[in-house]
Amino acid sequence: MRQAAISEFAEHTDSDVSVSASRSAGRKITGTLAMAATLAMAGVGLAAPAHADNPYERGPYPSESSIEASEGPFDVDEDSVSSWFVSGFGGGTIYYPEDDSQTYGAVAISPGYTASQTSMSWYGPRIASQGFVVFTIDTNTRYDQPDSRGDQLLAALDYLVDDSSVQDIIDEDRLAVMGHSMGGGGTLAAASERPELQAAIPLAPWHLDKTWWEVQVPTMIIGAEDDSIASVITHSQPFYESLPSSLDKAYLELDGASHFAPNLSNTTIAKYSISWLKRFVDNDTRYEQFLCPPPSAGGLFNDISEYRDTCPHSS
């Protein structure tokens, strides 16, 4: 495991139609297709069951409005976890779908240097309502370095799978990590240490190590254009460029944003984090439309100043 030795600045009935079907049946089918097209043009998403070849799809067919909404299709509950009853991290809050008839992928989220889980609390209900179990954690101390935060993210995932109150609804093979600042550096460290993770999303990440060629986990790095603590020039961009060229990876830079942008509810962060988690934790290709082709950057009403991606993504 990499070691960081410096402190940082303070801080998601198929049915066959017979060739000989009656004209009235044909008119019904035509009318149904026309209605579907009308709804699609109006921006209304049509619910769709999970594809037979992908049992991990959760929720209705997505639309721009559905992944930008502050609440997804799942009702969410939460469970507080005391640091007294866990090992390897500082406790936290679990957000999870109330529907326990199926299993879900899970993501652990770390705060940054000197921060607590409250700085990341908005991710909990927003991502969980899209069909994930989300664990926003406190770290052992507020001054833990990135590699320690990476170990704590993994300890939190292990707790979710083995000991948590929601372990029965978690698919242990579909896990991910996220984190802000030193927690973002910890996200990279966790992905480096545990290649079987399905996704990693470092947010304005900070780490002394700039090369992550060994990472095998699909990774979306979200940087902030005006970050004066973890400058994209010396952190997010070198991290992205060092990831293997063969890896499914993306780099999103928030236009005019500061280092602390990920601490506040942000539709752009939510939209692309949810899409990344859906695409790689749930293998839900319905969300590929929001990632490939890559979204455009720049423009008066665009919150993205730069975007890089390795489209098309592997299956």
pLDDT at res. 3: 45
Measure the CA–CA gap between 69 and 61, rounded to whole angstroms: 14
Measure the CA–CA gap between 286 and 315, rounded to whole angstroms: 12
pLDDT at res. 109: 98
pLDDT at res. 196: 98
Four-residue CA torsion sign, 188, 189, 195, 197: negative
Measure the CA–CA gap between 158 and 87, rounded to whole angstroms: 10
> Cα torsion at 72, 74, 75, 78 (round to 10°)?
-90
Q: Which of 210, 279, 274, 221 minimizes the C-alpha distance to 250?
A: 221
pLDDT at res. 300: 61
41's CB contacts (< 8 A; 6+ apart) are none
pLDDT at res. 298: 73
Which residue ranges of the chain lie beneath pLDDT 50? 1-51
Active site residues: 181, 227, 259
Note the Cα 140 to chain centre separation in Å: 24
pLDDT at res. 54: 85
212's CB contacts (< 8 A; 6+ apart) are 188, 191, 192, 239, 242, 243
pLDDT at res. 53: 79
pLDDT at res. 169: 98
pLDDT at res. 68: 96
Q: Which DSSP helix (H) or strand (E) runs through 153?
A: helix 146-162
Q: Do the beta carbons of residue 281 and residue 198 sit within 8 Å? A: yes
Structure tokens at 118: 């409250």
Amino acid at 287: Y
**Count of C-beta atoms within a 10 Å radius of residue 8:** 21
pLDDT at res. 267: 96
Q: Do the beta carbons of residue 303 and residue 68 sit within 8 Å? A: no
- Count of H-run helices and E-run strands, the chain: 7, 9
